Amino acid sequence: MTRLTKPIPLYRREEEREGLRAASRFNAGLMDSLRPHMVPGITTLQLDEMAYLYTRDHGHTPACLGYHGYPNTICTSVNEVVCHGIPNEAPLKEGDIVNVDLTTIVDGWYGDQSEMFMIGQVSETARRLVQTTFEALFKGIRVCTPGCRVSDIGRAIQTFAQKAGYSVVREYQGHGIGREFHQDPGIPHFYDLASSRKLLAPGTCFTIEPMLNTGRWKTRVDKSDNWTVRTMDGSLSAQFEHTILMTEDGPEILTLTQHGPQEGELVGISSVSEH
């Protein structure tokens, strides 16, 4: 019996692509609005409230709030938390690294991204992990070409990360996005044979969001909230994410910020304090 697979949604009409661009552009602006506040002493719950008010004041919808019961607007993952960290009242401390993950619905379209922030002066171990993860994201983006295999992304990221001495989280992956939050194709960040059968045709919109650990790749979910994902061995973890539209000419990064790190740059607290 042949197993039927759901076709990957393709956004070929210009009005569809403009919808994707508008949602992602707003989402990037939301990230920039939080950037000046990423300093020691701020709580992730305060950041969450800022993101909620900014989104609602602009007439848009926080996609994470209420999604499968998730209680907040953003995800904030600190140090050994890999992803899906729930904002709380604990102040961020000098030396912390924190991932802020944002998704917004704008006129029915989704924009999604995440970024690592280094709070004050961080250890060299943390700084190197954050920088390598940022570069790994672009390694994945730059192997994308119209019609390429999804597995090309994971192969590029895994090869780069392992050469630098890091493991790649396998339980969580990127995903298709558009009029739905999560849709086909799934985007593994390691080489996966099954994903070699999926192609990124023009019109495919998807996220690439590698999670790199200083220790082993295995993770666990906190039983206290069934959301917070931590490294199994307590090692540091970092993640960056962009929403990508595959066009006839190649990948278009939709969630570029104005004031965050750009491809080829160093990630650092200076990009926060200058804006």
Model confidence at 167, in pLDDT bands (50, 70, 90)? very high
The whole-model pTM stands at 0.95
What's the rounded mean pLDDT across residues 174-199?
Answer: 97
Mean pLDDT of the residues in the chain: 95
Q: What is the predicted pLDDT for the residue at 213?
A: 98
| Strands, sheet with 237-239, edge to edge from the N-terminal-most edge strand | 167-168, 211-213, 237-239
Mean pLDDT on 172-197: 97
How much is the average pLDDT of 121-146?
A: 98
Predicted local distance difference test score (pLDDT) of residue 5: 57
Q: What percentage of the chain has pLDDT greater than the value 90?
A: 95
Give the pLDDT score at 162.
Answer: 98
pLDDT at 118: 98
Q: What is the average pLDDT across 159-175?
A: 98
Q: Where are the domains of the chain?
A: 14-263
Task: Give the tokens for residue 35.
Answer: 């950037």
Q: What is the DSSP letter of 43?
A: B
How confident is the model over 57-105, as pLDDT tens digits? 999 999 999 999 999 999 999 999 999 999 999 999 999 999 999 999 9
What tokens does 273 get? 């304090």
pLDDT surpassing 70 at residue 159: yes
- Angle, to 10 degrees, between the axis of helix 44-57 and the axis of helix 14-34? 140
The pLDDT value recorded for residue 215 is 98
Looking at residue 102, its pLDDT comes to 97
Quote the DSSP letter at residue 27. H
Find out whether 27 and 18 touch, Cβ atoms under 8 Å: no
Q: What confidence tier does 261 reach under pLDDT thresholds 50, 70, 90?
A: very high
In order, the DSSP letters of 72-122 are SSSEEEETTEEE-PPP-SPBP-TT-EEEEEEEEEETTEEEEEEEEEE-SS-
Report whether pLDDT(1) > 50: no
What distance, in Å, lies between the first and last C-alpha atoms of the chain?
58
* Among candidate residues 212, 232, 213, 211, the one with its CA nearest the CA of residue 221: 232
* Letter string b/e over residues 101-130, b meaning 16 or more CB atoms within 10 A of that residue's CB: bbbbbbeebbbbbbbbbbbeebeeebbbbb
Report the pLDDT value the prediction gives residue 7, as an integer from 0 to 100: 82
The residue written with tokens 């899906």 in the block is 84
* Assigned fold of 14-263: Creatine Amidinohydrolase (3.90.230)
- pLDDT tens digits, residue range 41-66? 999 999 999 999 999 999 999 999 99
